[in-house]
Structure 1
């Protein structure tokens, strides 16, 4: 579990594709350097979110760490687009003493989104995105939470018809995450607020139960409609 508060910007120092017949199953071995500030208490097997993707530490030194990226992760995220020298957002999994400045983040990427525009607004920056999978828009609401490349951000606008959403980055945030460094056309990892998914599933289950069971919602609605029609005669 993560909070979406980026702790450091690391640098991709090595990308080594793994043979599909060897350990790694055709994925990639990724080494991140300039990460000393988050490695003081690291252990093998710990989870670190890299651009919002929960990955497991397999090796580490005082300054860098290595993770394996599975083929499915490469397909579902923008990690396959990384190149040596690029910056990545980093966050350690939360501990018991961590204050939640962001929101509950799993590090499980739902889709990617393309940067459509970057518009300065005073010292802030408004960025518009189009999700690769438009179905996630049902979980994206104005003033709600969203995680982009591992950063917990507040949505300032959503257009379901045109299929885009916007966030605004204050000056401080622009300095602490990698998104402002990206260009129009680049992609970010997207994780929507998990609360929306749970609510949707529970509501759907209750509706299905109410529609199908004896004396349920559908039967009540039909009965009430019939009774109303008969009373009006």
Structure 2
């Protein structure tokens, strides 16, 4: 479990991809390796990855992670190249003050930056989600104004959501701009999105309460319930 509060910016020093997946080495990572062990989880741009090797002395401290093809399909990590900075956060410790929100670092999908506007010292960023498919339903149902969203591993507050345009916006204060990579990304860049897990549990509970099954779309399920009621009252034929 993570908080979405980025601890440090690391640098990709090696990215090797083959048919099985991708190996990344993240250097300049000493500040988060002081208590590191093989097998520990570190969120890299919002994706929970397992440390397979590390050295806290060379390259300013580095660690190695392996990305399966499924991770490459769901995130932007397959596009990372040498020299790119990435957001890093260690798994949450039981002894720390909890900030941000509950983040699993299980990326749901990607979005594209479609808006960058400076507002005083702050930066307004707009994102567009891809069109929904049967394999990848839309994430819009889990996005609400003033709700939480995790973008590249950073816990941020939604300032606006447009369901028709499949877009949403966040505002980065000056401090946040300096601490995460998001402010450096330009129009057209992809970002990793994880929606608030609470919304997923609420949806599943509602679907179960209405007699649906896992994988049923909520809209489809509600339509079915309405049809059943109308059929029982003889208003429509089944």
Range of TM-score over shorter length: 0.7 to 0.9
> Alignment partner of 1:91: what SS?
strand
| CA distance in structure 1 between the partners assigned to 2:145 and 2:99 by the alignment | 19
Q: CA deviation at 1:162?
A: 1.1
Does the aligned pair in 2 maintain the 1:112–1:131 contact within 8 Å?
Answer: yes
- Aligned match of 1:5: 5
Q: CA deviation at 1:225?
A: 7.0
Higher gyration radius (CA): 1
Of 57, 64, 87, 2:51 maps to 57
- Give unmatched runs, 5+ long, in structure 2: 133-137, 213-224
| CA distance in structure 2 between the partners assigned to 1:132 and 1:75 by the alignment | 14
Q: Where does structure 1 differ by over 3 angstroms across 4 or more consecutive aligned residues?
A: none
> Alignment partner of 1:208: what SS?
coil
1:184 and 2:184 matched:
no
Q: CA deviation at 1:132?
A: 2.5
Deviations 1:92-116 (A, max 9, x none): 0011112221000001110100000
| CA distance in structure 1 between the partners assigned to 2:69 and 2:170 by the alignment | 30
- Aligned match of 2:41: 47
Q: Matched residue pairs, number? A: 213
Does the aligned pair in 2 maintain the 1:111–1:132 contact within 8 Å?
Answer: no
- Aligned match of 2:169: 166
> Alignment partner of 2:87: what SS?
strand
Of 202, 205, 213, 1:202 maps to 205
Does the aligned pair in 2 maintain the 1:111–1:133 contact within 8 Å?
Answer: no
Matches within 5 A, 1:45-194: 45-62=39-56, 63-132=61-130, 134=132, 135-194=138-197
RMSD of the alignment, in Å?
Answer: 2.0
Matches within 5 A, 1:29-44: 29-44=23-38
Does the aligned pair in 1 maintain the 2:10–2:27 contact within 8 Å?
Answer: yes
Matches within 5 A, 1:21-36: 26-36=20-30
- Give unmatched runs, 5+ long, in structure 1: 21-25, 210-216, 227-233
